[in-house]
């Protein structure tokens, strides 16, 4: 395809990806303002984040299969329209319940758009330039993550929290007008869908998360909490049984027969659990206890959120010298050290400078984590299932975020209180040390990964083809 067409495709998919990834973290600095304006409690704030992440995680793999069957450009436009409409609904939400519902629909749109940005881009770029295009795609994703807290803080401080959602609307409308003429329609293999598996996984996760979120407030033995935890667990068990028996599983469990694949994905789950669960509470701590403005809190988290852009280029030479699993262990150890630094230093009157080393360590560790994870996931997956394997890994990252926010907030609620700075600090100490334990266990567990097969490095050209299918 001619280079101008590839450039136009990159512009459309890059902007769409930036908008969706921005919304992963843009809401974090607005949570205190949302709590004050809508009278939301900690449970409501959790669902404001988790409603988006949960629907995103569950529908990521089914959305890729639907796009292969019905047309990638067509589904991309549908997902983009849904995301844009849901953003407007979130901005207009009169209460917490309406906001949570809008965020859930946003997650559906995001689950459709995100993998297709990479699939459409890879199809439009000549093979010789595909590496450069994928690097640009990664930069757009990284910028969305890095700037999310800053943009969210600035918009909340100088306008209102509603505008963190309104800003998506004009961008979405422009993209919807340009995309039909800029993108080429394509399809993949018409894979069979697994609606039963999708429903079992969705309701199972909602039940478990509902029980975790409400446990401290309603009592861990209350009928509502027990129904959520037990019912959700039963549905998740039924999902696993169903996946072993269906001819077209949403999650091919055969992938997990490889020890390396299983361990790497558990490490992804652990990293997202500890890091993003901690970040959810840390942003609120900076505003509620250290009295930072929304913008001030966003800017001061940049040593964490922006550092991966600087550290990521180091992963290739380090992996070549030390091995991917050693780099993975180092990445988790650095993140554990960073959270340990924060847990040991934070207090009601602690100066910001005392936090910076911990934030930098977390950022470097995060920057070193994702590339070796992707490399090892593909190394332990059959070539024919490379795209699905990448999608599974990304899904588990989202699920780790959901569970991390639910579990670590439950730990915080049992040991601290948001209404009192001293109690808030006490709860943060316990929460962060819990996250440190998870990351430290992950760093040690990384050495359980078998040495990756040499064939993995020989398959680099296939990797560029495989990742777009479900990244």
Q: Where are the alpha helices (DSSP H) in 246-306?
A: 259-288, 294-300, 302-305
**C-alpha Rg value of the chain to the nearest Å:** 21
Decide if 269 contacts 396 (C-beta within 8 A). yes
Decide if 377 contacts 389 (C-beta within 8 A). yes
Q: Is the pLDDT of residue 4 over 50?
A: no
Q: Which residues contact 455 (CB under 8 A, 6 or more apart)?
A: 379
pLDDT, tens only, 341-376: 999 998 888 888 999 999 999 999 998 998 888 888
Mean pLDDT value of segment 68-93: 92
406 membership: H or E segment, kind and range: helix 386-415
Per-residue confidence band for 334, with pLDDT thresholds at 50, 70 and 90:
very high
Decide if 27 contacts 96 (C-beta within 8 A). no
**CA end-to-end span of the chain, whole Å?**
23
Q: Where are the alpha helices (DSSP H) in 183-323?
A: 195-218, 223-245, 259-288, 294-300, 302-305, 307-311, 315-322
Among residues of the chain, what percentage have pLDDT more than 70?
A: 93
pLDDT, tens only, 214-243: 887 778 888 888 999 999 999 999 999 998
Per-residue confidence band for 251, with pLDDT thresholds at 50, 70 and 90:
confident
Predicted local distance difference test score (pLDDT) of residue 120: 85
Q: Is the pLDDT of residue 428 over 60?
A: yes
- Pick from 385, 392, 389, 373: which is nearest to 452 by CA? 373
pLDDT, tens only, 83-125: 999 999 999 999 999 999 999 999 999 999 988 887 888 778 7
Residue 343 has φ and ψ, to the nearest 5°, of -65, -35
- In this structure, of 111-125, 172-186, 413-427, 457-471, the range with the lowest mean pLDDT score is 457-471
Q: Give the C-alpha separation, 205 to 140, whole Å.
A: 30
Per-residue confidence band for 188, with pLDDT thresholds at 50, 70 and 90:
low
């Amino acid at each position: 395809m001619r280079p101008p067409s590839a450039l136009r495709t990159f512009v459309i998919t890059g902007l769409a990806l930036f908008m969706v990834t921005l919304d992963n973290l843009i809401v974090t600095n607005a949570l205190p303002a949302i709590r004050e304006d809508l009278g939301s409690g900690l449970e409501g704030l959790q669902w404001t984040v988790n409603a988006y992440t949960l629907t995103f995680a569950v529908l990521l793999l089914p959305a890729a299969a639907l796009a292969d069957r019905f047309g990638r450009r067509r589904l991309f436009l549908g997902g983009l329209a849904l995301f844009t409409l849901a953003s407007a609904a979130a901005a207009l939400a009169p209460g917490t319940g309406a906001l949570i519902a809008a965020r859930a629909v946003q997650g559906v749109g995001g689950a459709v758009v995100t993998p297709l940005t990479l699939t459409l881009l890879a199809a439009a770029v000549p093979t010789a330039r595909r590496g450069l295009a994928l690097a640009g795609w990664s930069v757009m994703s990284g910028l969305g993550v890095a700037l999310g807290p800053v943009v969210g803080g600035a918009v909340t401080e100088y306008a209102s929290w509603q505008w963190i959602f309104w800003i998506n609307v004009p961008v979405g409308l422009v993209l919807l007008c340009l995309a039909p003429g800029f993108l080429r329609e394509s399809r993949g293999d018409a894979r069979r869908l697994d609606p039963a598996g999708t429903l079992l996984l969705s309701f199972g996760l909602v039940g478990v998360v509902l029980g975790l979120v409400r446990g401290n407030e309603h009592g861990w033995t209350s009928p509502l909490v027990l129904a959520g935890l037990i019912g959700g667990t039963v549905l998740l068990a039924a999902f696993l049984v169903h996946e072993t028996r269906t001819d077209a599983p949403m999650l091919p469990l055969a992938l997990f027969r490889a020890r390396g694949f299983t361990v790497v994905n558990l490490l992804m789950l652990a990293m997202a659990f500890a890091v993003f669960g901690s970040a959810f509470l840390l942003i609120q701590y900076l505003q509620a206890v250290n009295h930072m403005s929304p913008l001030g809190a966003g800017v001061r988290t940049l040593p964490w959120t922006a550092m991966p852009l600087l550290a990521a280029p180091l992963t290739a030479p380090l992996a070549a010298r030390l091995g991917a699993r050693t780099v993975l262990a180092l990445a988790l150890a650095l993140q554990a050290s960073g959270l340990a630094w924060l847990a040991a230093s934070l207090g009601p009157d602690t100066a910001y400078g005392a936090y910076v080393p911990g934030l930098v360590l977390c950022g470097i560790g995060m920057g070193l984590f994702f590339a070796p994870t992707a490399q090892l996931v593909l190394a332990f997956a059959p070539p024919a299932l490379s795209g699905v394997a990448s999608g599974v890994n990304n899904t588990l990252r989202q699920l780790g975020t959901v569970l991390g926010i639910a579990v670590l907030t439950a730990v915080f609620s049992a040991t601290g209180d948001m209404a009192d700075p001293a109690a808030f600090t006490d709860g943060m100490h316990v929460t962060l040390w819990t996250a440190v334990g998870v990351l430290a266990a992950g760093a040690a567990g990384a050495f359980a990964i078998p040495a990756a097969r040499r064939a993995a490095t020989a398959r680099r050209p296939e990797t560029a083809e495989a990742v777009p299918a479900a990244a």
